[in-house]
Amino acid sequence: MSDKLTYSQVNRDVMRPLFNATSLWWGFMAIVGLGLAYGAVCWGIQLVWGLGVAGYHPPVFWGVYITTFVFWVGIGHAGTLISAILFLTRSRWRTGIYRAAEAMTIFAVMTAALFPAIHVGRAWQAYWLFPYPNQRQLWQNFKSPLMWDVFAISTYFTVSTVFFLIGLVPDIAAVRDNTRGWTRRLYAAMALGWRGTDRQWHHYMAAYGFFAALATPLVLSVHSVVSWDFAMANTPGWHSTIFPPYFVAGAIYSGCAMVITLMLPLTKFFKLEAYIHIWHFEHLAKLCMFTGGILTYAYGTEYFVAWYSDNPYEWGVFVDRVVGKYWWVFWIMFMCNCVLPLVWWFKKVRTSFMGLFVVSLIINVGMWFERFNIIASSLAHSFDPAAWVYYTPTYIEIGILIFSFAWFLLWFLLFVKIMPSVAIAEVKETLRPPLKSEGVAAK
């Protein structure tokens, strides 16, 4: 880190966006509010009239909602990867970005968690998916991958949230010390009595390490479990052993791309260039290039296996994806995930603001279409040719898709106003400690 930075400068810079809402922030909030309102109306219509208002065309019983669910679960991967795995591997470049990435993870999982309720036919009974003691002595089916999902997602959400809040403790304490009144009481509660003593630091670092270790396997397990929703089914195009690694790679790919998409403007708006360099983004881009490569390889493997297995149903789906009615979905996915991001192999592109931002957006689009491609095209072209159909979403589904982005951004916008988006304590670790002679309060 720059020698020019001092502890107090870090405090000032990182805490500047807090508390004073700019008109730009309010503008974003207004857009988010519109999106939420539109989506809420769409969902209301769906609750009253039934799922028929969505475009479902049997046997395509899953569509945009599950696509979006998987998309957001995927987005929720980068944060914990960056905060936990990179912490354990002592990758220093995580410092500037991990806080926002982690927050993004939690909000993405919160967004994803809405979808099971939106998607089921009787949303008012969605709580039946949880095993809870009841008079009727009803119990859940633990053979069902959807049941595994419930546990995987809720566990992941709990652990990431706890990890996130623990990571925040020293920074919240710093914010506490700069506030007054009721906000101070709030931050004081969240800071858990942090004083910054050596003893506290000692325990804190041990605990943080443990949580990082606990969160690490979840990064791999959550999307593996989500992928089993598909891989465990016998639907051609889903029933595949490659799904868990393929989904995890895809999730990290999309997650890192989303981190770039969010943090680039964040850095610009909040003038955090001193803490988050283009160098950070280049690292993320490299991670994307790596996972994108895995993804492209997985696509190829899927096709090879479908062809080599000589399974007419499997091969039928894979051919249909390329040249059939959903050709456009496949080609959007392929171009956005496998071809266009190759420009990042040029250092010039992956170190330029626009190059990073545009390509990360492309990857986000591509990854959404990947899930749509897997879900819709497989169901639309399954075993019995008499049941081959073409499903397209309706405005209700698009509305709820918009709602999900608005919901996610709502939390993210609140986050940047309430919590330090950059890990103050960790940044300070990289700085030269202030000396008493310099007369700077070290906090």
Q: Does 217 bind other proteins (CB under 8 A)?
A: no
Nearer to other proteins, 86 or 150 (CB): 150
Q: Does 146 bind other proteins (CB under 8 A)?
A: yes
Q: Does 22 bind other proteins (CB under 8 A)?
A: no
User: Closest by alpha carbon to 87, among 194, 225, 210?
Assistant: 210
Cα distances (Å, whole numbers) of residue 387 to 31, 184, 402: 41, 62, 30
Which residue is listed with tokens 């071809």? 339
Supply the minimum distance, in Å, between the C-beta of residue 240 and other proteins.
14
Q: Does 154 bind other proteins (CB under 8 A)?
A: no
Q: Per residue in 1-39, is it b (16+ CB within 10 Å) or e — as a string? A: beeebbbeebbebbbebbeeeeeeeeebbeebeebbebb
Nearer to other proteins, 194 or 228 (CB): 228
Q: Figure out which of the listed residues 33, 44, 121, 300 binds other proteins, where binding follows CB under 8 A.
A: 121
Eight-class DSSP state of 57 = B
351, 282 in Cβ contact below 8 A? yes
Q: Figure out which of the listed residues 45, 147, 242, 349 binds other proteins, where binding follows CB under 8 A.
A: 147
Q: Does 387 bind other proteins (CB under 8 A)?
A: yes
Nearer to other proteins, 337 or 382 (CB): 382
The span from the first CA to the last CA of the chain, in angstroms, equals 18
Find the part of the chain contacting other proteins (CB under 8 A) among 86-94, 112-120, 252-260, 355-363.
112-120
Q: Does 145 bind other proteins (CB under 8 A)?
A: yes
DSSP string covering 19-34: S---HHHHHHHHHHHH
Give the Cα separation of 100 and 239 in Å (integer).
36
Q: Does 179 bind other proteins (CB under 8 A)?
A: no
Q: Does 297 bind other proteins (CB under 8 A)?
A: no
Q: Tokens in use for 105?
A: 């993870």
Amino acid, single-letter form, for residue 312: P
Contacts (Cβ under 8 Å, ≥6 apart) of 111? 72, 404, 407, 408
Q: Does 293 bind other proteins (CB under 8 A)?
A: no
Nearer to other proteins, 136 or 436 (CB): 136
Q: Where do the H-state alpha helices sit in 16-138?
A: 23-49, 64-75, 78-80, 86-88, 98-119
Q: Does 125 bind other proteins (CB under 8 A)?
A: yes
User: Closest by alpha carbon to 401, among 361, 372, 358, 438?
Assistant: 372
User: Closest by alpha carbon to 184, among 195, 173, 194?
Assistant: 173
Give the Cα separation of 182 and 302 in Å (integer).
56
Find the part of the chain contacting other proteins (CB under 8 A) among 35-43, 67-75, 216-224, 226-234.
226-234
State the number of binding residues for other proteins (CB under 8 A): 55
164, 102 in Cβ contact below 8 A? yes
Nearer to other proteins, 107 or 157 (CB): 157
Binders in 36-75 for other proteins, by CB under 8 A: 49-52, 55-59, 61-62
Q: Does 319 bind other proteins (CB under 8 A)?
A: yes
Q: Does 316 bind other proteins (CB under 8 A)?
A: yes
Find the part of the chain contacting other proteins (CB under 8 A) among 12-20, 279-287, 386-394, 435-443.
386-394
Q: Does 235 bind other proteins (CB under 8 A)?
A: yes
Nearer to other proteins, 51 or 425 (CB): 51
Q: Does 128 bind other proteins (CB under 8 A)?
A: yes
208, 166 in Cβ contact below 8 A? yes
Supply the minimum distance, in Å, between the C-beta of residue 228 and other proteins.
10
Q: Which residues bind other proteins (CB under 8 A)?
A: 49-52, 55-59, 61-62, 116, 119-123, 125-126, 128-129, 138-141, 143-147, 150, 229, 232-235, 309-313, 315-316, 319-320, 323, 379, 382-389
